[in-house]
A and B are shown apart, each in its own frame.
Chain A
Amino acid sequence: MFGWTGVLLRVNLTNGSIKKEALNKRDADLYLGGRGLGTKIFTDEVDPNVEPFSPENKLIFMTGPLAGTMATCPGRYEVITKAPLTGTIGASNSGGHFGPELKFAGYDGIIFEGKAEKPVYLYINDDEVTLKSAEHLWGKTVFETTDELLIETSEDARVACIGPAGENLVRFAGVMNDKHRAAGRSGLGAVMGSKNLKAVVARGTKSLQVAAPEEFLQACLDARGKMKANPVTGAGLAAYGTEILVNILNQSGALPTKNWEESSFEHANETGGETLADKYLVRNKGCFGCSIGCGRVTRIPDGKFKSSGEGPEYEAGWSLGADCGVKDLAAICKASFICNEMGFDPITMGSTIACAMEMYDKGILTREELGRDLAFGDAEAIVEFTKMTALREGFGDKMAEGSFRMASMYGHPELSMSVKKQEMPAYDGRGLQGMGLQYATTNRGGCHVRGYMTAPEILGIPQKLDPLVTTDKAMWVKIFQDLTAVVDSVGICLFTTFAIGLPEISSMLRTAVGWDCSDEEILKIGERIWNLEKLFNLKAGFTKADDTLPDRLLKEQVKKGPAKGKVAELGVMLPEYYALRGWDAEGVPTEEKLKELSI
């Protein structure tokens, strides 16, 4: 097989059986790999009403046909399961070197079933695949676990694991790989923890083949050339990382601040990528085959937040920074490092602290309840509560449920800035109307990378759209959602799409797997994936009422800046979006649409 390895691993944790299965080529042709193929297998095999932490839930790791090749940024894999934070289909994507290594070992993906009686890890050494005891690793951090496993197995291996947050079923724990990379959102690491699966270690020495080597090489070199020439992928992200967006969003008046009460932060620059590069950046780092290098190796050399690690990237820097009103970049870095070390999502962490800060501000949460004061801007608090949440200590036990459940415990769910219980990231849906529609309709709840409307609305890629109007936004959101589904499924990084689009991705894909099809047919695969995810959510009980935004975005006007006076005009865009998708007025895909998509 070209592109794919053609083999899947099926691991039953309850009885310890490990089977190798042939990849279903028809499914691969219809759903590619990664997010698409993983979702196809998951939805075929699992009841949508399964309880996320039950043994009946499955956990799938899946790479794509371009992962491990010399396509643009081909280091990705996806983790798919029913998400404990949202109850929706959960799919989260990660870079680093783990995904390609899994392919070099000879596998496109792994399906985990059941639940181990005691902690275990899976060691894949080419053809040899074994479950081993992880009792000695339980309770250890991501970094400790990774280091110990590399000594125990092979120093050339790659490790994906959970930290204490995953073990403690923190509802936004991630699956961490190569120490600092994360399939971070929606709590997939907690599902791994619920299965007593501490880690997956992969070591591979095999090779990957493509259908048309010469044409593939040319397609990859063309795409890489465009990446190099593009100011975002060729220069900006390398110089300042994703944190470069802090000042850009702030100037657009769309940097959510103090739990979205405000939309710009007076101390934005102190927390931005330029300041990070100036004060704490040690070196850039790239994932497998990356030509961007947005990864930040950072060090806080002294002071009370002295530490080192990787990041923060933009969302983490924002959630722990502007959203909490915190301007101390050293504290933001430290809290972000803790998220990696303990293995959980900094977007939800920071947003949950921000929500608690507003609740404290409004007198809903007291000093007694929290164990300390929690005013906006408290740098020490973000570090302290991040640690406590990972271990579910004190009030951290409530924060570990995410902002929606935490605020609901006190009767104030409206103070959670989330969609389908997942916190929205760092772009205000009032100042970016398209992003607002994207948040409301994303199949995994509040999310920026299922569409990335920031590209046209802020950066002018592929063309500049007025972020404040609703015109044509439904159409753009649909196209971007479908395109990102393709990107997440072939195994390349979403950031490539700052420089390349459907034609380049399609050229690489066609020559890799040996297809003769149009770009439009490939985009159709993205639409198929989107609809399959939507169907799962509908069967899990989600309705049109869940395709919404917090009242703050729908009713409270932006107070100042370029978006002054705006609310998210979801009511205008949503019906248009459903119609464009070929869904009925309730947001249900029509029979006709499903037939057209061969679902």
Chain B
Amino acid sequence: MRPRYISTSRGAWEIGLIFSQTGRLANVGTSQLEGAILAIDEINAAGGINGLPLSPVIRDDGSDPQRFLYLSDLMLREEVINIVFGGSSPEARRTAAPMFEHRNGLLFYSGLGDGFDFSPNVFCFGLLPNQACGRVLREACRAEAKETFVLHRDDLLSRGLGDCLAREIERMGGTILGEATVSDQPADIATALARLEVSHAAVVFLMMGGSDAGAILKALQSGGRRPKVIAFATCEKDLAPLAGAAVGVLTVSTYCSAVASPVAEAFNARFTRRYGRAASPDVFCEASYCAVCLFALSLRHTGSVETDVIGDAIPGMSLHGPQGQVTMDPESNAAALWPRVLRWGPDSRFEIVVESDRAMMPDPFLIAHSDGGPF
């Protein structure tokens, strides 16, 4: 059976964009929105798809997974839109996925993945734990990662990354001297940092981005010792306001403006033209851009926006994204991506420390116990 419930009677291919433009995940969501809009503008400027433009319907979930569920449900039920680009956290994706399965919509998720999940109605474009905690991380900090400390939030991303990271640290011959959970409360951060100080760890892993990471980095700078910091889930928008406090911070990511390839350079130039001279695209922007481009490719091939048609077409599809060749793995509905370790420089830009020489396979269920093989 082929339910079809997007209408082109309004003279456009309507798609939903539901990101966290406000709240804790605003940096992630705003970047995702910028990437999606950039892709849509480019596609429409080139004549649209089969003669019709893409028309985005934009909503803000305020960093609340329940609000994301509510808005996407409304979009599927009342606004006759079955293709949604959205979700700025694993919580949002997990909360909404059953609804997308029930109503047979498609969710293109471009936030970071926490693994141990599969849905025929969800495609993931962000790094999974096995891709983030893989070979590139090992190469970047094998020498120092002997005595480590892990700061995490009580959330899905921390839990998903935590398992992979612990194994990776062991593989590097290191030990975890201590762990602490951090919430939004300043008192919490102070307690966690006191424990970190006592542990004398040389390397700290931060499992969170946004303002939490900012507060911790600032506090670390005012402390006496400065351990090496590897912050997962962070991006340019998080670090730029911190000035000196963020210099030297490492992250694992798929994209920054330092990626050198003709596709990436052209992408950076188009982004700057669209959003202004000071702006540069980050990992979430690029992931969301790739998601829209891959959808557009499948729509062009099939000429249909029926959920079942697009849902069948996308697995196995591939495109030359700014980060490199991005391929949707049909086994996991997650993309094979290009992990890179980046370092925040004094010029408030990321530089590339280590990059993979090939796309890394997603392994959401950690079956291959791997850092991702070649695609």
The yes or no verdict on A and B being binding partners is no
Residues of A within 8 A of B (CB): none
Interface residues of B (CB under 8 A from A): none
